Amino acid sequence: MDPAAFREAQHRHWDAAAVGWEQWSAFNDRADAHISARLVELAGVRPGSRVLDVAAGYGEPALTAARRAGPEGRVVATDLSAEMLASGRRRAAAAGLDTVEFLACGACSLDFPSASFDAAVSRWGIIFEPDPEAAARRVRGFLKPGARIAISSWGEPEEVPFLAIPMRTAMQRFGVAPPPPGTPGPLSRPTPAALGGLLEAAGFSDVAVERDAVTFVFDAPERFTAYVRAISAPIRAMVEQHAGEAQEEAWDAITQAAAEAAGGPGPVTLTNVVLLASGTAP
């Protein structure tokens, strides 16, 4: 893998998905607000804290951290995609949160004074980085001694049906082999050992990993496909490599797979395992 080329592709893909993330932001917030809240808690964010959010996307858990840090705190929300951050900026303004700074920058290019943050968080973000250990090590240098970091990942593919169903369907449709273990993406650190090991390799101590879950409920299989098509940059990228008719056939196949998983054309309920890892900066 060429890290620079990979990051550039990620940049394009997430810029393209930004509109979908903003359209589905209320839906996502209802489903996974507790994950943001738990990450903020594990990171030890308190009133007055200065917090770094790595790969904040459309603004989470940055906005949750800002609410916890209060008017005396400060949150710096960073992401490779300026378009995703623009959505986060609009959401922060709508929520009346003026203590969040949005900075378009990849995780491995961040540059802050040493010991300038009280906490760091990354919700399904740093795991997309080609060298997440190096990124986490870099973040560690920005944290005060004893400060905490908390990150999240999805679990094993069979435990994360909202991703596994469309990924498996698209791969079978196009004859694509599964990526090698550890390939950057939403399922790159699917076990406690893998996610906790990321922080340990970056020099954090007292690393702990816990399990949680996010449940998505869609009115119909078609709504599930619309959601995936709008927000999942990796799956969109896979499908959009092919010609127009093949794309639509793939999305139709994903709708059918979701209906089969739900047992019919009615509502689709998918519960997905989440891993949360936290550690302490020396």
Task: With cut-offs at 50, 70 and 90, classify the pLDDT of residue 174.
Answer: very high
Task: With cut-offs at 50, 70 and 90, classify the pLDDT of residue 180.
Answer: confident
Angle between helices 161-174 and 221-231 in degrees, nearest 10 = 80
Tell me the whole-structure pTM to 2 decimals: 0.95
Q: What is the pLDDT of residues 8-32, one digit of tens each?
A: 999 999 999 999 999 999 999 999 9
Which residues 6+ apart lie within 8 Å of 203 measured at CB?
Answer: 137, 140, 281, 282
> Which pLDDT score, from 0 to 100, does residue 119 have?
98
Q: What is the pLDDT of residues 50-93, one digit of tens each?
A: 999 999 999 999 999 999 999 999 999 999 999 999 999 999 99
Task: With cut-offs at 50, 70 and 90, classify the pLDDT of residue 187.
Answer: very high
Residue 273 has pLDDT above 90, yes or no: yes
Task: With cut-offs at 50, 70 and 90, classify the pLDDT of residue 244.
Answer: confident
Q: Provide the token pair at 94.
A: 């709508």
Residue 1 has pLDDT above 80, yes or no: no
Mean pLDDT of 24-52: 98
113: how many CB neighbours lie within 10 A of its CB? Answer: 8
- Closest listed residue to residue 52, CA positions, set 60, 62, 42: 62
